A and B are shown apart, each in its own frame.
Chain A
Amino acid sequence: MRRELRSMVTAVICFLLVIVLNFLLPRLLPGNPLAYLTGVSEEGLTTVQEEYYVHALHLDEGLSRQFAHYLGSLLDGTLGYSFKKDAPVSSLIADRIWPTLKISVPSLLISSALGLVLGLSSGFATKRRTDSWLTPLMIVLNAVPSFLMALSLVLVFGFKLRLLPYAGLSSFAHLILPVTTLVLGMTPSRYLLVRNMVAVQAKERYVLYARQRGLSDRRIRYSYILGNIAGPFIMALGIGFGLAVSGSVVVENIFSINGMGKLLTEAVYTLDYPLVQGVLFVSTAIMAIAIILSDLAALAVNPKRRLENE
């Protein structure tokens, strides 16, 4: 119970930290906070405009009052205002959140399933052949930068073989390449996690006894060992989802998917600071929710953990 609780508390602290960071960044950095908050350079403003912005953004009030206004903008769901795009940040992000989820959720599920199945089989028998080629393969895969993976996939399947579309997200076929990129990037860490946990479990006595009772390897793996590693594995899913969302920044840019990651880079290029901060806020929120849900799920699958005090 303690471990799951601790992870949930950490997720909430992370979220609060990002909120404070978002508030302090434009105000404490050298330079006019107005430039950061509007994205318009000082020279481009007339005095009247400047006064208008200063008042609209409450910069003429004290820091604590400003923080209250800032929290208010988070609570009423606008997340600030993008002066560059002339729209509330939340509405800009709301349009872009689905494409990101559409590629990150399937890739998280597929990579976790792959990591679990492969990790169970090679961690159970670390001396056997599957482990001896699969683990090095995963280590090499882990060293491939995601942009290299994405570019090579586009090149081979999009340009040379002309099999799959590589721009946009208008059909199911459009999903294949971006999801494959993310899956190939995320599977190694999942696989290694499971493999190492299983390798520890395989040395335990209950495995030995199960073997002596003549149970099949498959039975031992899936109904004995899996139960014991399920908790930590599910907990890792939450963090994995956070990683998938940030990993999709690269993928969305290469595959021209109009998701949150692409929105983030566009906002950075156009110096739209409120939007940049909004994306950070939303992605941290998604991550925190995913972590809390996965911790709850880890407790749900293992009733014993709810009573244990470690």
Chain B
Amino acid sequence: MSRRKVLTVIGIVLLLGFAVMAAIPSAIAPYGQKEMFQSWLNPSPEHPLGTNRLGYDIMTEMIYGTRTTLVTGLLSSLISLALGAAVGALAAEEGFIGRMVDGLIDVMAMLPKLVVLIVLGSFIRGGGLSLIILISVFSWSSTARTVRARVIELKHSAFTENLRIEGFSDFHILVRHTIPNTSDILVSRFLLGLNSCIMMESTLSFLGFGDTFHPTWGTMVNMAYRNGAFIRQAYAYLLSPGICIMLLSLSFYFMSIHFSSRKEEVEEVI
């Protein structure tokens, strides 16, 4: 197996593990979500990562946090993918509109994202869903850029020209040929977008802007940090959610390598 394939397999296995944790947390978690023990227990065979300030088992908390983390990332990257694809296609138009939209992509790419999101998040306090929408509204620029490049390339390719000469309508060409030919970059952008959305969400949650009712891994680190996990020497509590984020992000990255390299040239879909 080539190195690329090995990475893809590792990515899929990691992601499957997280997916199972997200789908059926109650079957995997060692304890119930509201089962209380002594607070600040050290890691032990009974509690692999110890317990937190309220005496909840941290391993359990983390497994239950998988779903919110994954769903937040999935939703925000799906929305940003749709936005990016639409804007990218529009920016590929020739003329005034295309140029304007292309400029908009540049502006969005340049904005200091984290600071803007913190500011908007402080004004719009609406919990998990508004955070998802905010993140996706500010994450589509790189998708739009890639889609724009591909659409322009396709527009000027010989087979599109041929189709046009044969008298197929613009709509037909768009739906049957242009969109199918962007699918590979859409998949790889989706995976990379998941990556950056999860990173953004966890950073915001770590800073305390997350939804405390549906804690993600980032929120967990924030709680650990603020409740004095350092002084209690609960290092596993502080670090393990971050390590999970890293593994999740790597799994998406490994899978994206597979998709981004599979089709290096534009293929004709007829």
Q: Which of B195-248 contact A (CB under 8 A)?
A: 195, 199, 202-203, 206-209, 218, 221, 225, 230, 235, 238-239, 242-243, 245-246
Residues of A within 8 A of B122 (CB): 267-268, 271, 273, 276
| CB-defined contacts of B225 to chain A, threshold 8 Å | 151, 254
Q: Tell me the minimal C-beta distance from B129 to chain A in angstroms.
A: 16
| A13 engages B123 (CB within 8 Å) | no
Q: How far is the CA of A283 from the CA of B115 in the complex (A)?
A: 8
Answer whether residue B23 sits at the interface, using C-beta atoms and an 8 A cutoff: no
Q: In the complex, which of the residues B112, B121, B239 contacts A242, with contact meaning CB atoms closer than 8 Å?
A: B112
| Bound: A154/B221 CA distance, A | 15
CB nearest to A148 among chain B residues:
B242
Which among B70-78, B102-110, B178-186 touches the partner chain? Answer: B102-110
A contact residues around B243 at 8 Å (CB): 148
With A and B bound together, what is the CA distance between A277 and B123 in angstroms? Answer: 10
Complex Cα distance A291/B109, Å?
13
Given A14-B110, A25-B123, A239-B110, CB of A147 within 8 Å of CB of B118: no
B residues less than 8 Å from A145 (CB atoms)? 199, 202-203, 206, 218, 242, 245-246
Residue A26 lies at the interface, judged by CB distance under 8 Å to chain B: yes
Known contacts A144-B246, A145-B245; A246/B113 CB under 8 A: yes
Given A144-B246, A148-B243, also A242-B119 (CB < 8 A):
no
Does B124 interact with chain A (Cβ within 8 Å)? Answer: yes
Q: Which of A13, A247, A253 contacts B114 (CB 8 A)?
A: A247
Chain A residue, CB-CB nearest to B233? A159
- Contact of A151 with B238 in the complex, beta carbons under 8 Å: yes
A195 smallest CB distance to B (angstroms): 15
Q: Are A268 and B209 in contact, CB atoms less than 8 angstroms apart?
A: yes
CB distance from B237 to the nearest CB of A (A): 11
Tell me, rounded to whole Å, the shortest Cβ–Cβ distance linking B145 to chain A: 13
For the complex formed, measure the closest distance between the CB of B66 and the CB atoms of chain A, giving whole angstroms: 16
**Does B250 count as interface, using CB distance less than 8 angstroms?**
yes
Across the interface, do A26 and B123 meet the contact criterion of CB distance under 8 Å?
Answer: yes
| Complex Cα gap A25–B134 (Å) | 14
A265 at the interface (CB under 8 A from B): yes
| Nearest A residue to B105, CB-CB | A10
Q: State in angstroms the CA–CA spacing of A250 and B110 once bound together.
A: 20
Residues of chain B contacted by A25 (CB below 8 angstroms): 119-120, 123
**A250 near B203: Cβ-Cβ < 8 Å:** yes
Contact in complex: A143, B230 (CB < 8 Å): no
B40 interfacial contact with A, CB 8 Å = no
Residues of B within 8 A of A144 (CB): 242, 246
Task: Give the contacting residue for B110; candidates A11, A36, A247; CB below 8 A.
Answer: A11
Assembled-state Cα–Cα distance A250/B206 (Å)? 8
Interface residues of B in 107-144 (CB under 8 A from A): 107, 110-116, 118-124
Q: Check B107 against A14 for contact (C-beta < 8 Å).
A: yes
Q: How far is the CB of B101 from chain A (nearest CB, A)?
A: 13
Total interface residues in chain B, CB < 8 Å? 39
A143 touches B207 (CB 8 A): no
Contact A143 B107 (CB under 8 A): no
A254 partner residues in chain B, CB cutoff 8 A: 225
**B112 lies within 8 A of A287 (CB):** yes
Taking the complex as formed, is B253 at the interface, i.e. its CB lies under 8 A from any CB of chain A?
yes
Q: Is the CB of B107 within 8 A of A13?
A: yes
List the A side residues contacting B123 at CB < 8 Å. 25-26, 29, 36, 273
| B51 lies within 8 A of chain A by Cβ | no
Contact partners of B188 in chain A: CB under 8 A? none
Q: Which residues of chain B come closer than 8 Å to A154, judged between CB atoms?
A: 230
| Residues A268-301 near B (CB distance < 8 A) | 268-269, 271, 273, 276-277, 279-280, 283-284, 287, 291
Q: Check A105 for interface membership: any CB of B closer than 8 A.
A: no
Would A10 and B113 be within 8 Å (CB), given that A26-B123, A148-B242, A151-B242 are in contact? Answer: no
Name which residue of chain B comes closest to A36, CB basis: B123
- Residues of A contacting B195 in the complex (Cβ-Cβ under 8 angstroms): 143
Per-position binary interface string of chain A over residues 146-188, scored 1 when its CB falls under 8 Å from any chain B CB and 0 otherwise: 1110011011000100000000000000000000000000000
> In the bound complex, do residue B118 and residue A264 qualify as a contact, i.e. CB atoms below 8 Å apart?
yes
Bound Cα distance from A236 to B199, whole angstroms:
21
* CB closest residue in chain A, given B221: A147
Beyond A14-B110, A143-B249, A246-B112, whether A277 also contacts B239 by CB under 8 A is no
**Chain A residues packing against B (C-beta within 8 Å):** 6-7, 10-11, 13-14, 17-18, 25-26, 29, 36, 139-140, 143-148, 151-152, 154-155, 159, 239, 242-243, 245-247, 249-250, 253-254, 264-265, 267-269, 271, 273, 276-277, 279-280, 283-284, 287, 291
Q: Knowing that A143-B246, A148-B245 touch, tell me 9 more A-B residue pairs with CB under 8 angstroms.
A: A139-B250, A145-B242, A146-B203, A148-B239, A154-B230, A242-B112, A249-B118, A276-B118, A287-B112
Which B residues are closer than 8 A to A by beta carbons? 103, 106-107, 110-116, 118-124, 195, 199, 202-203, 206-209, 218, 221, 225, 230, 235, 238-239, 242-243, 245-246, 249-250, 253
CB pairs A–B below 8 angstroms (7 shown) = A13-B103, A140-B246, A143-B250, A144-B246, A155-B239, A264-B115, A265-B207
10 closest pairs, A vs B, by CB?
A: A148-B242, A246-B114, A143-B249, A268-B122, A10-B106, A246-B112, A280-B119, A147-B206, A143-B250, A246-B115
